[in-house]
A and B are shown apart, each in its own frame.
Chain A
Amino acid sequence: MFAMRVKIALAEKGITDYECREENIVVSKSPLLLQMNPVHKKIPVLIHNGKPICESLIIVEYIDEVWNHTSPLLPTDPYLKSHAKFWADFVDKKMYPVQKKIWATKEESQDETKKEFIEILKTFEKELGDKCYFGGDNIGFVDIALITYYSFFRTYEYFSGLSLEAECPQLIAWAKRCLLKDSVSSSLADMDKVLEIIIEYRKIKGIA
């Protein structure tokens, strides 16, 4: 989901002329990845003019700053910028660990996790309010940070038994609006494929 953020950002800026190299991080990491991100050894890594930038939100911000002639992803006003960065940080600090518990653990009772998860989604709904996107009239930093989790929504429903459309209709509506944009639809992974991969992953890890 983190690499998708970079793809969306590049697409929003109209950058199509780049090489996208898929890493098989489960089997073995390439020498290039290990050289470009020796600290975390993780993807995504954006290599621009031979220099690596790591960590998805840092990369998105970098893209926004370098290609600043079009489609701003962050507001220029310092307060509004800090507000956007706060919510993107919330996505990683809160959404990431809780959603992972839904599909990556064999919990006896998922009740607490499900409750926490819906609460987080409703928090996003509240922040979105009447806006078309978190970024206002066009997708921005927070939309990019969060929308990539949408490719896991079928996975969340499958393992939790929740109907996310019933629980958070406004958030689903927002996600569908985002998907109307080419930059998003061409970057997001297919929901059914993600579910297949997660089912395999659980078998391998003995969580099934």
Chain B
Amino acid sequence: MGNKAMLLDFWPSPFGMRTRIALAEKGVKYEYKDEDLSNKSELLLAMNPVHKKIPVFVHNNKPVCESLIIVEYIDEVWSKDKPLLPSDPYLKAQARFWADFADKKVYESGARIWKTKGEEQEKAKKDFIENLTILVQQLGDNPYFGGDTFGYVDVAIIPFYTWFYTFEMAGNFKVEESCPKVIEWAKRCLQRESVKALPDPIKVYDFFLELKKMLGIE
């Protein structure tokens, strides 16, 4: 069996970034394809007909969709080195819980910051900081959510860091002031090659401004 791998992605997507980090951590060679989401390729529509979204990891011509499912798949297939999930079922369940929390609460409230104004935006900021604070409590004294090693939850959350600058500009606040521990953790992650390769937050903000213009949002 061959080992042909391709990632259909979009560079500013934090979900795509998760899969890029996982592949880099495992040293997997793959072809990267950046999609034009306003004009989705035939390949993307064929590989993810249900959601028509990126990221899609195509491994030996078979598609795997949904970022956290892809990360788990990568962890299982390239299982020799650098395990991302713990082997203990309880610790594994905890890791899945916190990655799910990152999606349901952290990402959701972060996105609300740039989607809303006035009172709604103030609530979004409050929720975002509250959710980050709850999340960061899980670190305890550990350097990573994975404990001593960079793991699944770190992979799940660190991409949102590239969007912090955008949230801060949209909401006129600084994450570091309300949640310095998360910035400390992020900077630690940024020392890893796989995370260094993520887009510059300023570039992400520029993209966001373009996106707003395109969508006609003020």
| Chain A residues near B (Cβ < 8 Å) | 39, 48, 51, 53-55, 58-59, 61-62, 65-66, 78-79, 81-83, 85-86, 89-90, 123
Contact = CB atoms under 8 A, between A and B. Distances in A.
Given A62-B90, A66-B89, A85-B69, A78 B77 contact: yes
Contact of B101 (A39, A78, A85): A39
Interface string B47-88: 000100000000100101110011011001100000000000
A59 B69 contact: no
A55 B96 CA distance: 9
Contact of A58 (B62, B76, B93): B93
B184 to A, nearest CB: 22
A173 B206 CA distance: 52
Given A39-B134, A58-B100, A89-B66, A82 B92 contact: no
Interface residues of B, number: 22
A118 B90 CA distance: 37
A54 B65 contact: no
B97 interface: yes
**Main SS at interface, chain B:** helix
Contact of B97 (A48, A54, A85): A54
B52 to A, nearest CB: 13
Contacts of B66: 85-86, 89
Contacts of A51: 90
A61 B93 contact: yes
Contacts of A62: 89-90, 92-93
Contact of A79 (B59, B92, B97, B100): B59
Interface of A is mostly: helix
10 contacts: A39-B101, A53-B93, A53-B97, A58-B96, A65-B89, A79-B64, A81-B76, A82-B72, A85-B66, A85-B72
Interface in B134-184: 134
Given A53-B90, A90-B50, A82 B100 contact: no
A7 B152 CA distance: 28
Contacts of B134: 39
A103 to B, nearest CB: 22
